[in-house]
Structure 1
Amino acid sequence: MLTCPLCQGSLSQLDNGVVCPAGHRFDRARQGYLNLLPVQHKNSRDPGDNQAMVQARRDFLDAGHYAPVAERLAQLAAERAPGTWLDIGCGEGYYTARIGQALPTAQGFALDISREAVKRACRRDPRLTWMVASMARVPLSDASCQFIASVFSPLDWSEAKRLLSPGGGLMRVGPTEGHLMELRQALYDEVRPYADDKHLALVPEGMTHAHSEILQWRLSLAEPKARADLLAMTPHGWRASAKRRTRVIEQTAPFEVTVSMRYDYFVRQA
């Protein structure tokens, strides 16, 4: 299943790591993950989310604010009952762990380019294979996955298609145009429109759009920390002015905001 990120040879277990026939070896970190992101595949010294963003996201998600998103994703994954699945762009592992709970007998893999995220993610479920790796060069063999989840993550469609076995599918979860609308209105003079179906134009030939639904509800954030965490885990944490961010965080009344997520499922044809 695992492949070498340097030569694409098969990786096998050796001591506390993995090795390919060419002798490229990758040790397992003490937290339990494999670092399969060679330095030549990095665009920066520490790519992906930094420690502050990862911690803010972890605190916000562990408080249960987006629990309905994870529950519905887990339900949709369980309905498809894959033998092998992958969370591509797993972040700090909140959604990954919920999928793992829904698929206790399936073989699960998860990766993210952020080492800080995967360091925390792998503690959520040691049964899964956690990897620091590139989403454009996933170290898994062709047609090895029956189900792929992509939650709030950039996606290389050709790579996802390569990984899927015939009949397998990709579940993409992303925000709709109305997601966090009240927050955006509080932060900016003008809220830019967002086409939440633009990803449909990127789907490669040989993959069929098989399912779509929207999950939406109103969320009340009563605590300043929850509002600060939400800002810190999104681009609004650095795009918006400090004055407007502070106003949102320090207001005395609960902040009411719309959560709106779109689930799209794409099946690879035989």
Structure 2
Amino acid sequence: MLTCPICSAPLDSADNGVVCPAGHRFDRARQGYLNLLPVQHKNSRDPGDNQAMVEARRDFLNAGHYAPVARRLAELAAERAPAHWLDIGCGEGYYTAQIAQSLPDADGYALDISREAVKRACKRDPNITWLIASMARVPLPDASMQFIASVFSPLDWAEAKRLLSPGGGLMRVGPTNDHLMELRQRLYDEVRDYSDDKHLALVPEGMSLQHSETLRFTLTLADGQARANLLAMTPHGWRASAERRANVIEQAEPFEVTVSMRYDYFVLN
């Protein structure tokens, strides 16, 4: 089902990789992923999250701190029962693997622009087709997906619409204004409010919001390493001052913080 990122022709298996009729060939890495991000489509030498960010997120998520977020996403995916699904901006694959567990008979695809992220994601589930690719040029055919997940990820709405088959949908998961509020209050003199529904203005014609819900819970981070990982995997890890970050990490007592996620499901009419 994959398409060539250079000429958009179908890709067929060939030895340890894939090739299109024009001869564009892409080898499979020893970890199991395919790199379908040509150098001319890169904005930097190593785009996407770096190794430190990826490992901080992996360790934080593996500790189960956001398990309710992933569990609810998997439930919502299972309710839609797609035959083919895609996690667009999959990171190191934590949410992807749980979607796959909820859809054992479906074909799953996952991509991220970060090589460091996809290298680690491959270890979670070998049955998923893991790709290094641009979410603005997804190497999959038109109308080939019945379900797309986008979790904490930038999104090219036009590309998502292109990929969806009629009746298929996109599940967008992102933070609300209350997310990590206690942490933000500790890190900044002034906490900026933001609209957690501004993405609704970006939805292209032909797609409509079918379902929306918010998941909220209180997270207790008892050790400094967990707090350090949380900071490292968010923009607060470089926006906040080193002194404020250190105060959060080094405090003796457990740190309680609100997790607040919004799930919006958009259907292609």
What TM-score, normalized by structure 2, do the two folds share?
A: 1.00
Q: Mind listing any 5+ residue stretches in structure 1 that lack a counterpart?
A: none
> Equivalent residue of 1:208, what SS?
strand
**Cα distance in 2, alignment partners of residues 139 and 190 from structure 1:** 42
- Report whether the alignment pairs 1:22 with 2:18: no
> Equivalent residue of 1:26, what SS?
strand
Q: What CA deviation, in whole Å up to 9, does each residue of 1:65-102 have, x standing for no partner?
A: 00000000000000000000000000000000000000
Instruction: Give the counterpart letter for 2:129 in structure 1.
Output: T
Match of 2:97 in 1: 97
Instruction: Give the counterpart letter for 1:32 in structure 2.
Output: G
- Report whether the alignment pairs 1:127 with 2:96: no
**Cα distance in 2, alignment partners of residues 18 and 204 from structure 1:** 33
Instruction: Give the counterpart letter for 1:2 in structure 2.
Output: L
**Cα distance in 1, alignment partners of residues 55 and 66 from structure 2:** 15
Which consecutive aligned stretches of 4+ in structure 1 deviate over 4 angstroms post-superposition?
none
**Cα distance in 2, alignment partners of residues 257 and 152 from structure 1:** 18
**Cα distance in 2, alignment partners of residues 88 and 142 from structure 1:** 15
Deviation at 1:170, TM superposition (A): 0.2
> Equivalent residue of 1:55, what SS?
helix
Match of 1:173 in 2: 173
> Equivalent residue of 1:217, what SS?
strand
**Cα distance in 2, alignment partners of residues 208 and 56 from structure 1:** 35
Aligned-pair Cα RMSD in Å: 0.3
1:1-270 mapped onto 2 (5 Å cutoff): 1-269=1-269
Identity of aligned residues (%): 81
**Cα distance in 1, alignment partners of residues 181 and 258 from structure 2:** 6
**Cα distance in 1, alignment partners of residues 195 and 18 from structure 2:** 42
Q: What CA deviation, in whole Å up to 9, does each residue of 1:189-238 have, x standing for no partner?
A: 00111110000000000001000000000000001000000000000001
**Cα distance in 2, alignment partners of residues 260 and 170 from structure 1:** 20
**Cα distance in 2, alignment partners of residues 193 and 19 from structure 1:** 48
Instruction: Give the counterpart letter for 1:230 in structure 2.
Output: L
> Equivalent residue of 1:169, what SS?
strand
**Cα distance in 1, alignment partners of residues 136 and 193 from structure 2:** 28
Instruction: Give the counterpart letter for 2:232 in structure 1.
Output: A
> Equivalent residue of 1:140, what SS?
coil
> Equivalent residue of 1:32, what SS?
coil
Q: What CA deviation, in whole Å up to 9, does each residue of 1:168-199 have, x standing for no partner?
A: 00000000000000000000000111110000
What TM-score, normalized by structure 1, do the two folds share?
A: 0.99
**Cα distance in 2, alignment partners of residues 196 and 183 from structure 1:** 18
Deviation at 1:57, TM superposition (A): 0.1
Instruction: Give the counterpart letter for 2:92 in structure 1.
Output: E
**Cα distance in 1, alignment partners of residues 149 and 183 from structure 2:** 27
Q: Mind listing any 5+ residue stretches in structure 2 that lack a counterpart?
A: none
**Cα distance in 2, alignment partners of residues 16 and 149 from structure 1:** 28
**Cα distance in 2, alignment partners of residues 12 and 232 from structure 1:** 39
Instruction: Give the counterpart letter for 2:222 in structure 1.
Output: A
> Equivalent residue of 2:179, what SS?
coil
> Equivalent residue of 1:108, what SS?
strand
**Cα distance in 2, alignment partners of residues 93 and 236 from structure 1:** 22
Instruction: Give the counterpart letter for 2:43 in structure 1.
Output: N
